[in-house]
Structure 1
Amino acid sequence: MRLFPFGTTAVANGPALINELRNAPDDAFSFAEFADKARYTISPALKESRYHVPIVRTTLTRNLAGLFPDLLDEMNSAFKESIFNLDGLKDGEWKSIPVHRNIMELVCRTTNRLVVGAPLCRNKEYRDLIINFTIDVAKSSMFINLFPTFLHPIVGPILSQTNKTQRKMLRLAGPLIEERKVKLAADKNYADKPNDYLTWILEDAPPGFEQTTEGWAIRLLQMNFAAIHTSSATFTHAIFHLATQPEYMAVLREEIDTVIESDGWSKASMQKMKRLDSFLRESSRLNAIILTSLNRFALRDYTFQDGTFIPKGNFVTASLYSLHMDDENYEDAKVFKPWRFVEMRENGEEGESVKHQFTNTSVEYLSFGLGKHACPGRFFAANEIKAMMCYLVQNFDVKLPDGVTERPTNQYFGTSVTPNQTAEVMFSRRKRV
């Protein structure tokens, strides 16, 4: 364990220390206090109440199978009505597409089918607001972290676009929130009640500010930031790997075509695609959205078992990068091996298959965090990304632009990692035989 400059952040390395950090009591290390800058980038309400977390972790996950047809319907429409519609291309003709921003458009629309439903998820002004908000929050968080904690109350409001964004969200989503609120007050089980995130937070919000239109609008912003930022980056990274090594397309395509032909499009089908699952897990291992994980704030003095003393008021985090790039954890750790995890599932001890699935967390794999604060929406994100990868593989061929031979390099700012924001990939309609 070592300290960052200024002696404010300790970094835990190795499974033993990470497990201890994971299991430390909440009165010692706080996740909410570490994430306190969200009060400036999104809202202070997120610190006061985290009632949305069990909704995402339990209610959304439990409803995924039933909601999968809606997700699929929106995804199909989103692809066909976006820049990825290649119907005008001739056979063998290629089109260069800037990947990341366009993937954000797809993810935003598809995600919001399950967040606010149609037609709002198809409203371009609403989607632009969400996407720009997602980018603004990521940038603001990075810049706020450049300043000492005691300056955050000063620089946070200056750097953030939160108030402006909230006013726009109230204008766009407010009427829908009010309409649903009135209907629920009259009849909790009214006819055609939408089964989506907005309904769930309306039903479960604690008294006070959370039961206001403004409070619910903030929860919609928070949900969208969490879902779109991570899923867009994960999907973009996977596309970059596929375009760099298009020989993997045939293997994925065989699996996807076989499963869908046999079982159709469903959540259960997504779970049967072991090579696709491995491809995404390996891509996320090499390209997690942050170099650290298990970020915590010390509420009191704490001494780790190795003797490291953490004074109250310091930050503690786990080194995701060193774990994911450790040859003792992964052979040739810096090499992209798409079937790494499916081989580990097949060759591992009996009962360990689940350990190497995309959404599983462990002290060797921290892309989704670890423990009780692991990403609550990872099962939804995994199914959404898998469905989009299936669509892409079934309908397109991909490659890097002419003259480009290496995968677009990731972009780093502090400990944050993003896919290359301007990189383009060549797309062509799949050649059917």
Structure 2
Amino acid sequence: MFYATSILALAVLSLCVVYRHRARATYASLKFLLNGRRMLLEAAEKHKDAPFSVLIPGNRLHVVSSKEHWNDLNSTSITHLSSHAWSKQHFQPKYTFGYEWPDRRDVDGMPVVRAIKTMTNQWPELQQKFIGIIREELDQVFDANVLPDGSSEIPLWDTVKHFGSRINMLLMFGEVVANNPVTVDRGLKYLDETTLVGEAAKNLPTWLIPIATWLIRGNNQNQKHILDTIASETEKHYDALAFDPENARRKPNSILEALVHNLPDETNSGRIRFDMNTTFIASTTATPIMAAQLLQDIYAHPEYLPALREEVKGVLADPSANLSNLALLESFLVESIRTHCFLATSVNRVPLRSYTFSGGYTVPAGEIVTFYQQKVMSDDSIYRDAKRFNPERFKGTGKTSCDMGVEWPFWGNSKLACPGRFHVTNVAKLVAIYFIMNYDAHFERTDNLNFEFREVNVPNPAAKIVLKKRRRDPEKK
């Protein structure tokens, strides 16, 4: 709250002192910060399938949503519509990371993609480790919040975010890092600080950004700890390769180790530090958001719990279980992603030179263009009675949570698809399976389970769920 109040106060000060002549534009961008999701919805209702634009903090956002616009985005080279340029604007690395990115990314990103795919293909070996983290953390938070009747009232978002971050750290950096409570705590704080610094950098004049950054980060010990951890782990893996080059042939235990195997020349250590830091910041929150919102939907429809429990029985004890074969749970997840659509937009790009869509709409160089996926996912012509949550909507249809295309743009397009989507959805399903097999549950309140910020819809940290243990490890019975 202190951070948010400080940033808001500085934003108001900048409005009064610096932006007197740009008051309207500044007001509009701050309005997007607080109510962007509603602004996009109202503009889309007005413009139908036609493109439109809105002022956002630090730039102008051009919004498209038709199949024709999707095809244009899909067929245009990323050297023209740049994802890297958008990432640079979004993350504000000069302030959030402490170092500047080049205007173009000339280094091939495939080693990172290959490293991610290498590890996500090891799901059977990783599943039991992930379950161990979930069990350990839930046991601790349950015992810390026990009620007189033996049940426990826990903060869902903070709980899922914490063990979800540990799971992500295990995948990225290995078990030693994921099991270090100091590193996990500093990593979570670093994520929160990076988000706030990025917003401050987009909303405040340049001269106020260092002040806001200091208010948020202080002496920046959390970022330093994570960067030092990445550097130390990178050095360890290069030392192992130098000692025995055959180590490159064995299965890596983390994305970082796989990346070192892909880039065996130690002169790449600086690049790896940059790539792993960026990937850590970009990847950590998606899994817990998806898992928490899936749990909201499952426990809002308790009539489906018997069928779900029957479907997933035995999965937690079977490392070889294929989570894609759970038709009802898959349908729940797809419908949860569709209705929450926690990212209202996808396929974010910045034209490096002026770009004109086939229909004639032009986006100036340096501004942002995005595909409005929330409009697609709430379209009654695509999804019948789209505003209603139907747990069985996709059961037996063959549609999965990892699909791609104009009717399911969540993971990007063919130019740049999210390489971690199978891991994210599998972990969300694994979390749901653990909860429903081990707990009966209900929410303390069913209103305000989520809140909106900019164009996102995320779990409310104040929302609590009441858990009652069913019995120990019933999936093994």
- Length-normalised TM-score, structure 1: 0.84
Correspondence for 1:290 = 343
Q: Which amino acid aligns with 1:41?
A: T
Correspondence for 1:274 = 327
Q: Which amino acid aligns with 2:187?
A: I
Counterpart-to-counterpart distance in 1, 2:425 and 2:111: 17
Correspondence for 2:64 = 12
Shift of 1:234: 0.6
Correspondence for 1:3 = 53
Structure 2 matches for 1:85-124, cutoff 5 A?
86=142, 93-124=150-181
Correspondence for 1:389 = 432
2:262 maps to 1:204? yes
Mean alpha-carbon deviation: is it higher for 289-298 or for 251-260?
Answer: 251-260
Distance 1:93 1:242, change over 3 A: farther
Correspondence for 1:68 = 124
Q: Would you say the 8 A contact 2:347–2:412 is kept in 1?
A: yes
Counterpart-to-counterpart distance in 1, 2:75 and 2:281: 27
Correspondence for 1:408 = 448
**Pick from 76, 79, 82: which aligns with 1:24?**
76
3-state secondary structure, aligned to 1:297: strand
What percentage of aligned pairs have identical amino acids?
A: 22
2:468 maps to 1:428? yes
Over residues 164-219 of structure 1, what are the superposed CA-to-partner deviations in whole Å (9 max), with x where a residue is unaligned? Answer: 4442124445433322221212322239774321112223349797423xx54443
2:315 maps to 1:265? no
2:416 maps to 1:373? yes
Over residues 213-260 of structure 1, what are the superposed CA-to-partner deviations in whole Å (9 max), with x where a residue is unaligned? Answer: xx5444333232233210011111111112322222222111101666
2:394 maps to 1:341? yes
Over residues 17-53 of structure 1, what are the superposed CA-to-partner deviations in whole Å (9 max), with x where a residue is unaligned? Answer: 1221222222331111111132232453587658695
Structure 2 matches for 1:129-168, cutoff 5 A?
129-146=186-203, 155=209, 158-159=212-213, 161=217, 164-168=221-225
Correspondence for 1:303 = 356
Q: Would you say the 8 A contact 1:300–1:313 is kept in 2?
A: yes
3-state secondary structure, aligned to 2:391: coil
Q: Which amino acid aligns with 1:256?
A: V
Over residues 265-311 of structure 1, what are the superposed CA-to-partner deviations in whole Å (9 max), with x where a residue is unaligned? Answer: 33x52121121111111111122332111111111222212221222
Counterpart-to-counterpart distance in 2, 1:370 and 1:78: 32
3-state secondary structure, aligned to 1:8: strand
Shift of 1:84: 5.6
Correspondence for 1:350 = none
Counterpart-to-counterpart distance in 2, 1:371 and 1:186: 40
Counterpart-to-counterpart distance in 2, 1:219 and 1:248: 42
Number of equivalenced pairs = 412
Unaligned runs of 5+ in 2: 1-50
3-state secondary structure, aligned to 1:133: helix
2:239 maps to 1:182? yes
Counterpart-to-counterpart distance in 2, 1:125 and 1:50: 35
2:226 maps to 1:169? yes
Q: Would you say the 8 A contact 1:240–1:408 is kept in 2?
A: no
Distance 1:373 1:19, change over 3 A: same
Q: CA RMSD in A?
A: 3.2
- Length-normalised TM-score, structure 2: 0.77
Distance 1:237 1:114, change over 3 A: same
Mean alpha-carbon deviation: is it higher for 22-31 or for 5-14?
Answer: 5-14
Q: Would you say the 8 A contact 2:84–2:105 is kept in 1?
A: no
3-state secondary structure, aligned to 1:422: coil
Shift of 1:358: 0.7
Structure 2 matches for 1:39-58, cutoff 5 A?
39=93, 40-42=95-97, 44-45=100-101, 53-55=109-111, 57-58=113-114
Correspondence for 1:349 = none
Distance 1:231 1:223, change over 3 A: same
Q: Would you say the 8 A contact 1:18–1:318 is kept in 2?
A: yes
